[in-house]
Chain A
Amino acid sequence: MKTWACVTCGVIYDEALGWPGDGIPAGTRWEDVPEDWTCPDCGAAKGEFEMQVVKAAA
């Protein structure tokens, strides 16, 4: 499971959580998120998210 962040405003899309408010169930992989889905906070297009590097627990 990966997380993706909106480069503009910082919203995190976590594949493990999905985005149920928009009908995207938990566990939905980023590539299965509809292409017309936009950032819930700032409205940026899906293409404006980038994958986050998962930091190893210290």
Chain B
Amino acid sequence: MMTQTLVTETPAAWKDGKRGLWMMGVLWPALPLISAALALSTGMGLFWWLTPVVIYGVLPLLDRLVGEDRVNAPESAVAALENDRYYRLATFLFIPVQYICVIGGAWLAVSGGLPALDILGLAVSVGLVSGAGINTAHELGHKRENLERWLARITLAPAMYGHFYVEHNRGHHVRVATPEDPASSRLGESFYAFWPRSVWGSLTSAWHLEKVRLERQGKSVWNWRNDNLQSWAMTLVLFGGLALWLGPIVLPFLIFQGFIGFSLLEVVNYLEHYGLVRQKEASGRYERCKPEHSWNSNHTVTNLMLYHLQRHSDHHANPMRRYQALRHFEQAPQLPSGYAGMIVVAMIPPLWRSLMDKRVLAHYQGDVTRANIHPPVREKILAKYGAAQPQTLEA
């Protein structure tokens, strides 16, 4: 008797097939804890490297095996989906797991009597969780609710990237896929050229945004209301507290894991808009950000671990839309793999270029002049692709 109501797609009948699986986002940040338990109980040092092995090795394989999920919730079901508090819980619970990793990791590094190589594995592992924290903070920091905005900054603290909260919404979302955006990578730009440009450019932009905002209110940038200063203070409190407890010797561990953390964010930034650019209109404004200005991936496993971050086009069109409701857009350019696989590729520039440059070119129907080209290699790129025949390029 239920079948009749199920056949017609009423919102009440629609069920999110991934609902329970979103808790994976809370479980995988516990990997450094699992690896520590395994390493300490078996005495096998290799286990300290379990987290990077899972992220860089196992996840890309799982993406390949499990494949893609293109299901979009029907629009009529979105309100109920967004109001379902369970999904919020799946982001909130990330935070205690993350902090147990950072604090526990710091304690083990200082007091565990571990060899240097094991500490390095532990620091990389904790750093990757701090980097994943930036993704959680990203989901939280786009929301209107004060609680979520506060939690976003707490989640950013271990990666020393509190200014992301300012720069991402008011900087990156405005300048995305333009040559002016430090966090949009350009055709022909390697990850290693992008990293310093994005790290420095995002920092200075965040500072500038808050300076302008506060000056408009008649306040100095050196005001406690400066969101950058507030967010950085959280890092100072966390690192300072741990240094008081464990001694200043813990600071190199904390700073190194933070470096790994924000570098994970930057490599993800690198893949999200590579080579894509918004054209300038006659008025001098850039065209609106559209789905074709972000790279996407529907790979199920990595999407579950990243709160649908890979449905990136819909995110830029609807930045406040909650992750569970983000949609796949047919017209959006697609990455050949999920982010886990693509970040490995991005770290090997020749491999990245061989995989991605042709996709950028195909996206622009062979017209390379429509891409966002890295200025230092502009002539080289134009010479290489400038004469390309559109009809010889297949997607």
Q: Is A8 a contact of B290 with CB atoms below 8 Å?
A: no
How many angstroms between the C-alpha atoms of A40 and B286 in the bound complex? Answer: 9
Given A43-B316, A44-B319, A45-B318, CB of A8 within 8 Å of CB of B285: no
Interface residue total, chain A, C-beta cutoff 8 A: 16
How many angstroms between the C-alpha atoms of A41 and B289 in the bound complex? Answer: 8
Q: Is B283 part of the contact surface with A, judged by Cβ < 8 Å?
A: yes
| Chain A interface mostly | loop
- The proximity string for A residues 38-58 relative to B, scoring 1 for CB distances below 8 Å and 0 otherwise, is 111111110110100000000
Q: Is B365 part of the contact surface with A, judged by Cβ < 8 Å?
A: no
Q: Nearest Cβ in chain B — how far from A40, in angstroms?
A: 7
A-side contacts of B317, CB under 8 Å: 38, 43-45
Q: Nearest Cβ in chain B — how far from A1, in angstroms?
A: 21
Q: Is B288 a contact of A9 with CB atoms below 8 Å?
A: no
Q: Is B388 part of the contact surface with A, judged by Cβ < 8 Å?
A: no
Q: Nearest Cβ in chain B — how far from A18, in angstroms?
A: 15
How many angstroms between the C-alpha atoms of A40 and B285 in the bound complex? Answer: 9
B-side contacts of A21, CB under 8 Å: 283, 285
- The proximity string for B residues 362-388 relative to A, scoring 1 for CB distances below 8 Å and 0 otherwise, is 000000000000000000000000000
B-side contacts of A7, CB under 8 Å: 144, 319-320
Q: Is B319 a contact of A48 with CB atoms below 8 Å?
A: yes
Q: Nearest Cβ in chain B — how far from A50, in angstroms?
A: 7
A-side contacts of B318, CB under 8 Å: 44-45, 47-48
Q: Is B64 part of the contact surface with A, judged by Cβ < 8 Å?
A: no
B-side contacts of A48, CB under 8 Å: 318-320
Cβ contact of A50, chosen from B144, B169, B174, B316, cutoff 8 A = B144
Q: Nearest Cβ in chain B — how far from A45, in angstroms?
A: 5
Cβ contact of B173, chosen from A40, A42, A47, A50, cutoff 8 A = A42
Q: Closest B-chain residue to A11, C-beta based?
A: B174
Q: Is A9 a contact of B289 with CB atoms below 8 Å?
A: no
Q: Closest B-chain residue to A48, C-beta based?
A: B320
Q: Is B173 a contact of A44 with CB atoms below 8 Å?
A: yes
Q: Nearest Cβ in chain B — how far from A5, in angstroms?
A: 11
Q: A1-49: which have CB < 8 Å to B?
A: 7-10, 21, 38-45, 47-48
Q: Is B319 a contact of A42 with CB atoms below 8 Å?
A: yes
Q: Nearest Cβ in chain A — how far from B184, in angstroms?
A: 13
Q: Is A9 a contact of B169 with CB atoms below 8 Å?
A: yes
Q: Is B170 part of the contact surface with A, judged by Cβ < 8 Å?
A: yes
Cβ contact of A43, chosen from B144, B283, B288, B320, cutoff 8 A = B288
When A and B form their complex, which 3 residue pairs have the shortest distance between CB atoms, in order from nearest?
A43-B289, A42-B173, A8-B319
Given contacts A7-B320, A42-B319, 8 further A-B contacts (CB under 8 A): A8-B142, A8-B169, A21-B283, A39-B288, A42-B316, A43-B173, A43-B289, A47-B318
Residues of chain A touching chain B, judged by Cβ–Cβ distance below 8 Å, are 7-10, 21, 38-45, 47-48, 50
